[in-house]
Amino acid sequence: MNISRILIITLIFITGLANAQSEIIGKWKTIDDNTGEAKSIVVIYKKGSKIYGKIDRILKESDRDKLCKECEGEDYNKPIEGMVILKGLQKDGNEYEDGTIMDPENGKVYKCKIWVDEDDPNVLNVRGYIAFLFRTQKWIKA
């Protein structure tokens, strides 16, 4: 195998890895489980080797100034808009896991994993779970 062929294969491999990660980086629209309506825009970003997500914008204007009354610790009584709700996710194959997600409506923190939907790259599956109980939301690329 000549050197140019090895270089091309290496570039394709590196580009594929970068694209897999960049697929989740960006803005995602969260959907309310009860109403099916768009609720907020979450920005997913990389910090070091881990993935985080913060609420960039609450879409319902009357809720934009809400404080997290149910949160604990440093998030208690802080504005929900601008709050980091996804923390510490690490890449494992096509998924990002071993992180947490916080539900600002009840202040509870759950283990979390996220992955881009195989059938639609504009859908991000976000799963929060405790032991074997879980709930998966579908966020839409904003």
Burial of 70 (0-12, 13-18, 19+ CB in 10 A): middle
Number of domains in the chain: 1
Residue 9 in this model has a pLDDT that exceeds 70: no
What number is the average pLDDT over the span 45-67? Answer: 97
Question: The pTM is what?
Answer: 0.83
Cα torsion 102, 28, 61, 70 to 10°: value is: 0
| Mean pLDDT, the chain, whole residue set | 89
Give the Cα separation of 88 and 101 in Å (integer): 9
Mean pLDDT, range 87-95, rounded to an integer: 97
Query: What CATH number is attached to the domain comprising 65?
Result: 2.40.128.520
**pLDDT greater than 50 at residue 131:** yes
**How confident is residue 14, by pLDDT bands cut at 50, 70 and 90?**
very low
Residue 2's pLDDT is what?
58
Predicted pLDDT at 45: 98
Does the structure show a pLDDT above 50 at 19? no
Distance between CA atoms of 66 and 14, rounded to whole angstroms? Answer: 42
Residue 106 tokens, joined: 């009840």
β-sheet bridge partners, residue 54: 43, 84
Q: What percentage of the chain carries pLDDT values higher than 70?
A: 85
- Mean predicted confidence (pLDDT) in 91-112: 96
Range of the domain at 57: 3-141
